[in-house]
Chains A and B, each alone.
Chain A
Amino acid sequence: EVQLVESGGDLVQPGGSLRLSCAASGSTFSSYWMHWVRQAPGKGLVWVSYINSDERSTNYADSVKGRFTISRDNAKNTVYLQMNSLRAEDTAVYYCATGSGSYYDSWGQGTQVSVSS
Chain B
Amino acid sequence: QSALTQPRSVSGSPGQSVTISCTGTSSDIGGYIYVSWYQQYPGKAPKLMIYDVSKRPSGVPDRFSGSKSGNTASLTISGLQAEDDADYYCCSYAGSYRYVFGTGTKVTVL
Contacts and interface: CB of A to CB of B under 8 A. Distances in A.
Interface of A: 35, 37, 44-47, 50, 52, 57-59, 61-63, 95, 97, 99-105, 107-110
Nearest to B100: A47
B57 interface: yes
A107 B101 contact: no
B57 A45 contact: no
Nearest to B92: A102
A44 B98 contact: no
6 contacts: A45-B38, A47-B99, A52-B97, A102-B36, A105-B51, A109-B45
Interface residues of B, number: 26
A46 to B, nearest CB: 6
Nearest to B89: A45
Given A35-B99, A50-B97, A59-B96, A104 B1 contact: no
B104 interface: yes
Contacts of B101: 37, 44-47
Shortest 6 CB-CB distances between A and B: which pairs? A102-B34, A103-B51, A103-B36, A107-B45, A44-B104, A47-B99
A104 B48 CA distance: 7
Given A45-B104, A62-B1, A108 B96 contact: no
A81 to B, nearest CB: 15
B51 A57 contact: no
A103 B89 CA distance: 12
B52 interface: yes
Interface string B11-51: 00000000000000000000010101010100001111001
